[in-house]
Homo-oligomer: A and B are copies of this chain.
Amino acid sequence: MLTRTPRGSSNKNHLLARGVMLWRCIADDYEQTILVGKYENGAKLPPESEIAARYGVNRHTVRRAMAELGARGLVRTERGSGSYVKTDKLDYRIGQRTRFSEIVAAAGHEAEGRLQGHRHEPASEEVAGHLGLKIGADVVRLEILRAADRVPISVATTWLSAARYADAAKVFRRLRSITRTLDHYGISGYARKWTRISAGFTDAVDAGRLRLSVHRPILVVESLDVAGDGEPILTTRGRFAADRVALIVES
């Protein structure tokens, strides 16, 4: 069944990009097949052994590719049964009380927030305007990656006034939640003031963080959260994987 020459096989060559591993090529190939709509949501993929035979490849290699698709949130694999396409989207309801962990928990998934990076910087005109600060005022900038069931959902850049929340990064890293971080600073109730939604495509950096290919669609969500007394607290620019999330706005 398998050829003896691992190099110049037959049906591998049309994928084989120089410097890219086989399993990655297969994963990308299947992602295209799925995203182009050849499988419906919940449809069953062929068994690993069959896929392996079709590509002229070992089953372990296919398993690696499937693991990748699982990590990308495109496929769910069930032992003894098979692998199933998963293209349904998480409903992300935007309202006054928008809390990532609550939304994800309500949908029956496990929420996770990881701080990817942080720094102090002078406020841009935009950020200063939102937070009611002077341009150039010291602000804390956080880069946060959020995931549901280990599948990346969004990357968000959040700015807070450094005067009040200088150690926000340290606190967030420990508490792993914006809600709990603000709680730590004595802000118990905060509310969404406004939300601005646009769209775009992944750049190389976000694609890597979100485990997406480049040029996949993203939803860009800018927002401002305020305290109970209307005082601006934080402004955020989030990029949501449009393949995995739908934003719900009640009206």
Contacts and interface: CB of A to CB of B under 8 A. Distances in A.
B19 A19 contact: no
Contacts of A17: 208
Contacts of A20: 19-21, 24
A205 interface: yes
Interface string A64-103: 0000100000000000000000000000000000000000
A22 to B, nearest CB: 9
Contacts of A23: 19
A21 B21 CA distance: 7
A19 B61 CA distance: 12
A196 interface: no
Q: How many copies make up the complex?
A: 2
Contacts of A208: 17
Most buried by B among A27, A68, A208: A208
A19 B71 CA distance: 13
Nearest to A26: B19
Contact of A24 (B18, B27, B211): B18
A205 B14 contact: yes
Contacts of A24: 18-20
Interface in A165-224: 205, 208, 211
Interface in A41-69: 68
Contacts of A27: 19
A23 B17 CA distance: 13
A84 to B, nearest CB: 23
A170 to B, nearest CB: 21
7 smallest A-B Cβ distances: which pairs? Answer: A19-B24, A19-B21, A20-B20, A19-B23, A19-B20, A20-B24, A17-B208
15 contacts: A14-B205, A17-B208, A18-B24, A18-B68, A18-B211, A19-B20, A19-B21, A19-B23, A19-B24, A19-B27, A19-B68, A20-B20, A20-B21, A20-B24, A21-B21
